[in-house]
């Protein structure tokens, strides 16, 4: 039963807006709390727990230091109720999504393949919802998102976002950007699962749904971060291996995709020009783009506010208290709210995880690295990191690194750049 509930939780982790009761009580939180309660009951009945379950990795000490600094910042910060709420949110994300869920996973002997399988399932489900919602709202003027999302309880930023020639959708998350962030974690890992199972049909289906889903979301950050992450991982593997290996199926798939894009671009030049202009304004932080302008302004304010209290910051949630939507960046939020010591602790933790990613076998590294790098970059322009898939990704990295130290699968010994 626990294994099934763990799988259900992983599948539902991207559903941060669908079926959300409040801004705090979202579907993944509800399922996790049930999972934790049942796990505690199971341990109480058995009256034993494996010592290995309680083991923490060396880099985790930096995360614990970060959490300690969060509460020190709260103690010496601006002291409003919102600050306590944000301190609790940091604690829940780190304590429950990372440490406690990892204990549950280890205690039930969940391996990396189990996590990858359920990321593959949720990727297909989420992409299916995204594509269906986009098709219905743009071709038939039928919106299904408002049946599952309640914007009034602050669990989502929007229903649909008006672009120049179509509506972009938010999937099962708050808005297109956050959905793209989550999809860039789950989909590459889902592709890795089908690759390891040598299921080329499922791989091709998910890859196609992933690409179409990102277009339907039309998040500039989501698209750019994916392209950047793929380029970094492919070039790194190429420099390390000095050989290129690509299957005929993928050559055909890439060729068909490129031809389709070229044909669409030729037949819809005015649409492409509008889309290109919007993307360029966002990437260059042009003040004519509302999103880019807001971020430029709040990042400047973050530096200004940080100088008021450099070491411990102004307190968790200070930016949200002052500006409503905060600093629009995980890193600037940590810097201004929690201080330079916290950003150093969190940065060291993330750097340690990055090292483990780049020590993985080539094939595994390619997909896990895409998820990690894309998320790392996306955090620069979003204000929180409370989403469960990110923390499960970090748990998965530790598991893959441990499994790698135990044995080297025959499929990972080929020293070729992978695509």
Give average pLDDT by consecutive 10-residue segment, the chain, 419 residues: 94 95 90 95 82 83 97 92 93 96 94 97 98 96 91 82 86 94 98 96 95 93 93 89 65 69 63 60 59 84 95 95 91 96 97 96 95 96 88 96 72 45
Q: CB count, 10 Å around CB of 30?
A: 15
Contact 184, 223 (CB under 8 A): no
Cα→Cα distances 265→4, 138, 192, 257, 268, Å = 45, 19, 31, 12, 5
pLDDT at 240 (0 to 100): 82
pLDDT at 124 (0 to 100): 98
pLDDT at 410 (0 to 100): 43
- State pTM to two decimals: 0.89
Cα→Cα distances 310→125, 184, 285, Å = 44, 33, 26
pLDDT at 87 (0 to 100): 96
Q: Which pairs count as long-range contacts for 31-39, CB under 8 Å and 24+ apart, including other chains?
A: 31/5, 32/96, 32/97, 32/101, 32/388, 34/5, 35/2, 35/5, 35/6, 35/9, 35/101, 35/104, 36/96, 36/100, 36/104, 38/1, 38/2, 38/5, 39/2, 39/104, 39/107
pLDDT at 112 (0 to 100): 96
DSSP 3-state percent helix, strand, coil across the chain (nearest 5) = 70, 0, 25
Distance from C-alpha of 385 to C-alpha of 221, rounded to nearest angstrom = 16
The torsion defined by the Cα of 212, 15, 342 and 380, in degrees rounded to 10, comes to: 20
Distance from C-alpha of 136 to C-alpha of 338, rounded to nearest angstrom = 44
Residues 311-323 as b or e (16 or more Cβ within 10 Å = b): ebbbbbbbbbbeb
Residue 385, SS3? Answer: coil
Q: CB count, 10 Å around CB of 91?
A: 14
Contact 2, 108 (CB under 8 A): yes
Distance from C-alpha of 21 to C-alpha of 24, rounded to nearest angstrom = 8
Distance from C-alpha of 386 to C-alpha of 182, rounded to nearest angstrom = 11
Structural domain for 44, as ranges: 2-418
Sign of CA dihedral 21, 150, 293, 185: positive
Phi, psi for residue 55 in degrees, rounded to 5: -70, 140
Q: CB count, 10 Å around CB of 154?
A: 12
- Our count of domains for the chain comes to 1
């Amino acid at each position: 039963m626990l294994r099934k509930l763990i799988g259900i939780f992983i599948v539902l982790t991207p559903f941060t807006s669908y079926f959300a009761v409040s801004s705090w009580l979202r579907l993944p939180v509800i399922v996790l709390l049930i999972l934790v309660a049942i796990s505690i009951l199971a341990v109480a009945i058995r009256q034993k727990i494996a010592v290995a379950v309680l083991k923490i990795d060396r880099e985790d000490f930096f995360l614990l230091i970060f959490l300690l600094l969060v509460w020190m910042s709260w103690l010496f910060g601006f002291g409003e109720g919102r600050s306590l709420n944000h301190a609790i949110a940091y604690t829940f994300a780190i304590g429950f999504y990372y440490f406690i869920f990892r204990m549950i996973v280890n205690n039930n002997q969940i391996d990396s393949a189990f996590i990858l399988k359920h990321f593959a399932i949720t990727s297909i489900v989420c992409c299916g919802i995204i594509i269906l919602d986009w098709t219905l709202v743009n071709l038939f003027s039928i919106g299904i998102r408002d049946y599952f999302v309640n914007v009034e309880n602050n669990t989502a930023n929007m229903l649909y976002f008006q672009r120049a020639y179509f509506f972009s959708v938010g999937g099962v998350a708050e808005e297109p950007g956050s959905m793209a962030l989550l999809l860039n974690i789950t989909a590459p890992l889902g592709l890795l699962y089908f690759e390891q199972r040598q299921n080329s049909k499922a791989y091709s289906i998910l890859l196609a749904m992933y690409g179409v889903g990102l277009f339907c979301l039309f998040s500039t950050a989501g698209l750019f971060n994916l392209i950047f992450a793929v380029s970094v991982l492919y070039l790194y593997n190429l420099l390390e291996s000095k050989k290129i290996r690509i299957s005929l199926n993928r050559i055909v798939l890439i060729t068909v995709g490129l031809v389709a894009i070229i044909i669409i671009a030729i037949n819809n030049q005015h649409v492409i020009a509008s889309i290109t202009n919007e993307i360029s304004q966002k990437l260059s932080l042009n003040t004519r783009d509302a999103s880019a302008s807001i971020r430029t302004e709040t990042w400047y304010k973050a530096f200004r506010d940080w100088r008021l209290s450099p070491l411990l910051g102004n307190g968790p949630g200070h930016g949200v208290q002052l500006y409503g939507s905060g600093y629009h960046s995980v890193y600037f939020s940590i810097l201004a709210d929690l201080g330079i010591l916290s950003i150093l602790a969190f940065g060291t933790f993330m750097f340690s995880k990055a090292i483990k990613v780049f020590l993985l076998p080539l094939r595994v590294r390619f997909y896990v690295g895409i998820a990690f790098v894309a998320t790392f970059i996306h955090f620069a322009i979003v204000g929180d990191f409370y989403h469960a898939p990110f923390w499960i990704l970090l748990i998965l990295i530790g598991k893959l690194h441990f499994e790698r130290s135990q044995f080297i699968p025959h499929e990972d010994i080929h020293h070729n750049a992978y695509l």
